[in-house]
Structure 1
Amino acid sequence: MQRPLIIALDIESQKKRQAFLDVFSGQSLYVKVGMELFYREGRPVIEELKEAGHQIFLDLKLHDIPNTVKRSMTALAQLGVDIVNVHAAGGQKMMEAAREGLEVGTKLGEIRPKLIAVTQLTSTDEAMMQNQLLINRALPEVVASYARLSKLSGLDGVVCSAQEVPLIHDACGEEFLTVTPGIRRESDSLGDQKRVVTPAQASELGSWGIVVGRSITSSATPLETYLEMKTDWEGTA
């Protein structure tokens, strides 16, 4: 099974994004389109990336009442992306509705996008979760519980910290997908992330896919950084 390195296209303008992608001319990438980019450019950016041969993780983190999420996923399925996501905190009925919406919206003969759920953002630590979100449990316990609920709801996997991958595999099995942001090189700034690891550490921990943003997109030599991190990721698999 492919274990992707997904580049987060958190780039502030179409011109800069295109200049960034031009560096990778001829390569098929796996990219993440987040809220900022999708809300700014909408469907055309998805069509542009698909036409260029890239695979797409559409990272909108839906969290609403079940019927709204179902209808939204029916619409998103028609974009032909590869992965979409919701917040596991929306609960079982919402996640089941998301899956149903994707199944309704996926065109005949095409593969339904993988559906994954956010457990806890990698910018969240245990103190924040307990003191601000008022979830009075240990962070690993909450993440494992959300992962089990996601699997019960028929989802394909979760978004989580790589540090939590082993406990999720213990709870949900090795085939349950784990997509892990918060990936940095040893030399990189942590930024607003709290629970971070290197690509090699993520591989050793068993992540299915990693999401890398500023380490690559802000690099003076993005292609070289991408290849270095890809080797780090794949070389220890």
Structure 2
Amino acid sequence: MQDNNIFIALDFPDAESVNSFLKPFNLLEKKPALKVGMELFYSEGPYFVKQLRDAGYNIFLDLKLYDIPNTVAKSVSSINKLDVQYLTLHASGGKRMLEAAVQNKSKQLKLLAVTQLTSFSEQEMQKTQLTQVSMNDSVKHLAKIAYQVGVNGTISSANEAAMIKMATEESFLRITPGIRLLGDDVSDQRRVMTPRKARENDSSGLVVGRSITQAVDPLQAYQRVLREWQEGDVQ
């Protein structure tokens, strides 16, 4: 994992927008890792991912794979060719699906299992999934399945990072989206946290989107996130 453990979510519609955003970051000696989600990947495709890799960025490919085991296995084999560092899939796809992904990934690719989306509240999760299980119990259950079959870590709210660490082990990654700088709009997220609080709650890495990408000065916002993550909250 990158030393700073911060992933910038490239929530942009096309390559032109991304390239414009990245201009100040291209000059950094230590570049941030970039999260490429479905919107950008479906717009620009694998070739653009390769361009970002050639520019020296580590890539977190956030495709949230969820399908029958055979399809996921073949998808992971194809993604290996892109030389990305991280790939997401849904833990709720089950043990066999997760095992198929693990068995077909390259040595350098780390798999991260999505437990429950950070846009879900407790009530929304239970209503949608027709369950009376609590959010914490659901996340812990899915994290344990992922851990047992060799997935490298989870994607979950920072609220659940310490619990996942206790249920697995220190080396099992706990990457947490839904991160906002103090005072920023939480938008469609429900379970959010500041960088400092996420670190204190045992997150091992952060995904930060709008607090950086929609800032007046994105590089300055990124550096503030780094400071909060590494040294404590900056007012």
Interval containing the TM-score (normalised by the shorter chain):
over 0.9
The answer to whether 1:36 aligns with 2:39 is yes
Moved more, 68-77 or 1-10: 1-10
- C-alpha displacement of 1:132: 1.8
Aligned partner of residue 145 in structure 1, secondary structure = helix
Give the equivalent residue in structure 1 for 2:5: 4
- C-alpha displacement of 1:220: 1.1
The answer to whether 1:127 aligns with 2:116 is no
**For the Cα contact (< 8 Å) 2:14–2:43, is it kept in 1?**
no
The answer to whether 1:98 aligns with 2:101 is yes
Q: How far does the alpha carbon of each residue in 1:95-127 deviate from its partner, in whole angstroms, 9 at most, with x for none?
A: 00011121xxx3xxxx42111100000001110
Amino acid paired to 2:55: A
The answer to whether 1:53 aligns with 2:36 is no
- C-alpha displacement of 1:160: 0.6
- C-alpha displacement of 1:3: 4.6
For residues 83-94 of structure 1, the aligned pairs below 5 Å read 83-94=86-97
Please give the alpha-carbon distance, in whole angstroms, between the structure 2 residues aligned to 1:150 and 1:122: 18
Which runs of 5 or more structure 2 residues have no equivalent in the other structure?
A: none
Question: What is the RMSD computed on CA atoms of the aligned residues?
Answer: 1.3
- C-alpha displacement of 1:206: 1.2
Give the equivalent residue in structure 2 for 1:25: 26
**For the Cα contact (< 8 Å) 1:124–1:194, is it kept in 2?**
yes
**For the Cα contact (< 8 Å) 1:3–1:208, is it kept in 2?**
no
Give the equivalent residue in structure 2 for 1:177: 173
- C-alpha displacement of 1:13: 2.5
Aligned partner of residue 73 in structure 2, secondary structure = helix
- C-alpha displacement of 1:135: 2.1
Give the equivalent residue in structure 1 for 2:15: 14
- C-alpha displacement of 1:236: 4.0
**For the Cα contact (< 8 Å) 1:204–1:236, is it kept in 2?**
no
How many matched pairs? 230
Please give the alpha-carbon distance, in whole angstroms, between the structure 1 residues aligned to 2:58 and 2:22: 13
Q: How far does the alpha carbon of each residue in 1:114-173 deviate from its partner, in whole angstroms, 9 at most, with x for none?
A: 111000000011101111221220100000000000011111110011110111011001
Identity %: 42
**For the Cα contact (< 8 Å) 1:30–1:57, is it kept in 2?**
yes
Q: How far does the alpha carbon of each residue in 1:47-94 deviate from its partner, in whole angstroms, 9 at most, with x for none?
A: 111111000000000000000000000000111000001100000000
Give the equivalent residue in structure 1 for 2:218: 222
**For the Cα contact (< 8 Å) 1:215–1:225, is it kept in 2?**
yes
Give the equivalent residue in structure 1 for 2:65: 62
Q: How far does the alpha carbon of each residue in 1:17-57 deviate from its partner, in whole angstroms, 9 at most, with x for none?
A: 11110021222220000011011111111111111100000
Which runs of 5 or more structure 1 residues have no equivalent in the other structure?
A: none
Q: How far does the alpha carbon of each residue in 1:174-224 deviate from its partner, in whole angstroms, 9 at most, with x for none?
A: 211000000001110001000000001111111111000011111111011
Amino acid paired to 2:215: S
Of residues 208, 212, 233 in structure 1, which corresponds to 2:229?
233
Give the equivalent residue in structure 2 for 1:209: 205
**For the Cα contact (< 8 Å) 1:35–1:59, is it kept in 2?**
yes
Please give the alpha-carbon distance, in whole angstroms, between the structure 1 residues aligned to 2:14 and 2:77: 28
TM-score, length of structure 1 as denominator length? 0.94
Please give the alpha-carbon distance, in whole angstroms, between the structure 1 residues aligned to 2:132 and 2:164: 20
Moved more, 16-25 or 114-123: 16-25
TM-score, length of structure 2 as denominator length? 0.95
**For the Cα contact (< 8 Å) 2:88–2:112, is it kept in 1?**
yes
Please give the alpha-carbon distance, in whole angstroms, between the structure 1 residues aligned to 2:20 and 2:4: 26
